[in-house]
Amino acid sequence: MFCLIYNIPFSFNGSRAILSGPAGGVVGYAVTTHKQETDLPVIGFDMGGTSTDVSRFAGDYEHVFESTTAGVTIQAPQVMH
């Protein structure tokens, strides 16, 4: 499998898929709504069939390297949402 952006080989890793939807939502609304001129933070609301995620973007992505979801601790770089 190849990365479509850089055309380099990579292997799928389960930790890359954990909460990738909410992280993708943060990136999407950050790119389309945050204005550097006003520097006002924006809030995202992602409501699905079984869960809801609320996030805030203030100009920089916040990364964490460990999180616990449903009692399972994951140690991998993640976008905080």
**Domain ranges, ordered by start, for the chain:** 14-79
The sign of the torsion formed by the CA atoms of 51, 56, 59, 65 equals negative
Lookup: tokens for 34: 């945050």
Predicted confidence (pLDDT) per residue in 40-80, tens digit = 899 988 888 888 888 888 888 877 788 887 888 888 777 76
Q: Name the more confident of 56 and 13.
A: 56
CA-CA distances (angstroms) from residue 41 to 12, 30, 35? 33, 9, 9
pTM above 0.75, yes or no: no
